A and B are shown apart, each in its own frame.
Chain A
Amino acid sequence: GEDVEQSLFLSVREGDSSVINCTYTDSSSTYLYWYKQEPGAGLQLLTYIFSNMDMKQDQRLTVLLNKKDKHLSLRIADTQTGDSAIYFCAEMDSSYKLIFGSGTRLLVRP
């Protein structure tokens, strides 16, 4: 079945760039997503990328997709303390269900 894997934890200093990585298994995924979850809140859609794209940039966020290696990354430029949260990678399967990774907890140190 489909599987999405992420590293569990990342710690960066405020002002540095953060890179969160994700691998997925379903080569037929047409869309891939990044969600953010702040403490006590639901998941918030950050950005998505269509599978025929290699890169998507949205302000401080850059998504890179290597479809051959089934590797997705999220880069956050100039990371701020407000970026501390759990970041989930997700792929959409052929029945339009989102399959989530386990989430990467990002800690931004002052």
Chain B
Amino acid sequence: DAGVIQSPRHEVTEMGQEVTLRCKPISGHNSLFWYRQTMMRGLELLIYFNNNVPIDDSGMPEDRFSAKMPNASFSTLKIQPSEPRDSAVYFCASSTVGLGQLLANYGYTFGSGTRLTVV
């Protein structure tokens, strides 16, 4: 298994541009998570999907952020328009835990992250 695959690894964009981050979860995992990591705020959960359905998006900072999971093998996180304060490392993680399941010992498998720099 190739693990959780994120692309691109690095993204540099100008303020105001649209940015799309991509994630391919581990095959068979039914839950997908998007996290943002910064020095100031640490790891923040942005949104959580279970069986392709958004369950909790309370961590999405603003309407400029949106996430989709059109099928079990792909998710995107979009920022439009991007701002310098969005600069961070964005991680995708997947797992088999979910509503009604007691498989919590599996934890999450993280991707290598996308380092976003907005100038």
Binding site for B on A (CB under 8 A): 30-31, 33, 35, 40-45, 48, 50, 88, 90, 92, 95-103
Contacts and interface: CB of A to CB of B under 8 A. Distances in A.
A42 B56 contact: no
14 contacts: A30-B104, A31-B104, A33-B107, A41-B112, A42-B91, A42-B112, A43-B93, A43-B108, A48-B107, A50-B105, A92-B104, A95-B99, A96-B104, A98-B33
A96 B98 contact: yes
Contact of B110 (A31, A44, A97, A102): A44
Interface of B: 4, 31, 33, 42-43, 45, 48, 55-56, 91, 93, 95, 97-99, 101, 104-105, 107-113
Chain A, interface SS category: strand
B108 A45 contact: yes
B101 A42 contact: no
Given A40-B112, A42-B113, A96-B97, 4 more contacts: A35-B110, A42-B4, A42-B111, A96-B95
